[in-house]
Amino acid sequence: MPRRPLEGIRVADFSWVWAGPFCTLQLAHLGAEVIRIETATRPCITRQIPPWPNGQPGLNRSGYFNQYNQGKRSLTLNLKQPQALEIAKQVVAKSDIVVENFAGGVMDRMGLGYETLKQLKPDIVMIALSGYGATGPEKEHISYGPAQVPLSGLSSLTGYKGWRPMHVGISYGDPNGGLHGAFAVLCALMYRARTGKGQYIDLSQWETSTAMVAEGLLDYSMNGTQPERDGNHDAYMSPHSVFRSAGEDRWVSVAVRDDNEWRRFCHVIGQPALATDPRFATLTARKQHEEALDALITAWTSTRSAEEATAQLQAVGVPAAPSMSNKDLSTDQHLTSRPIFTYIEHPEVGKQQHIGIPWLLSKTPLAVQRPAPLLGQDTEYVLHDLLGYSVEEIGVMREQQVLT
């Protein structure tokens, strides 16, 4: 069996909520041993929010937490106690990577900043996935994912014409920052393999979000213009929107990229004359008459299912797709034919469907190694097997509330 890419690499994971855990999820998928350092006195937010199986809450039952912490271990430490802080440092000394996503300066104030930790492990790779970065006037500001969407400029591009800026529906900045973070960690590990030297990675979730929506910023820097919000329309494609289809709350997306696709589209909907109609013959004309165009297309899409419309348009090379519900995704014939979904047996919630590893390596088979950990599940393993504490010493620490 081939070794997994990060097998033998250990991660001391101080992160919580979504950005940091999404980063360490990728590292766990690649084979790293990820040890979450958490506390029962202030559990991770995602342990405390739904969805819950059968609607029954519990610190180990959150689908949110269990999705993004697959394959990890959990060590509970009350870091307000000096002995717990020393144990955290001992874990770092036996690790290759440290991950945190607190506001700037928090780890330093806890006595766990990079300058301190590299004295314990000179080749340590440490990444801070803060909201604003480690430098700058707002470096200590607190940030959660929803704030990253308007900060990045994405909200200014999202919404209907004449309406206020709108959110995009998820905390886009978190997983985006997490993926960038995992990539940066892999780069730092490659550098360490060549030089033997660790390094500090300063990641700003604001910046990683902005990097993904650069078109509007570039337009302003080059032309001094702010793109106008225009719903589901696109400045360079028309028709381009999500159209009502047959059935309750069913929709199909369509994107026509050029005049050749427009002609094929017109034949599919049974109105070839529209291809030469002066109102729609060119992109410029279609943009000028977009309201009328949308009405014509809705008249066609609303008489058939989203899947039928998709099949007809895809058959002639016109991009189209149904707007999928969560139910659609979990039962889709194409998705279920691939290994994106996995069933994980969890000690408290039983066997549940999860999203597994969304990329395949032809020479390196990967699989989720274990379910998300119960709170503190691996405390004995870390203290006894990894750090060498005796059973008696661990018992005393429990009595003294060091391990809460």
Enumerate the active-site residues.
174
Contacts within 8 Å (CB) and 24+ apart, 108-116: 110/79, 110/85, 111/85, 112/14, 112/85, 112/88, 114/200, 116/89
The label of the residue with tokens 């902005």 reads 210
Q: Strands (DSSP E) along 107-181, which ranges?
A: 125-130
- CA-to-CA distance for 50 and 57, rounded, in angstroms? 7
What is the edge-to-edge ordering of all strands in the sheet holding 125-130? 72-76, 33-38, 10-13, 97-100, 125-130, 199-204
The enclosing H or E element of 13 equals: strand 10-13
d(CA 46, CA 17): 6
Q: What share of the chain is helix, strand, coil (3-state, %, to 5)?
A: 40, 15, 45
Residue 19 near residue 173, CB atoms below 8 Å: yes
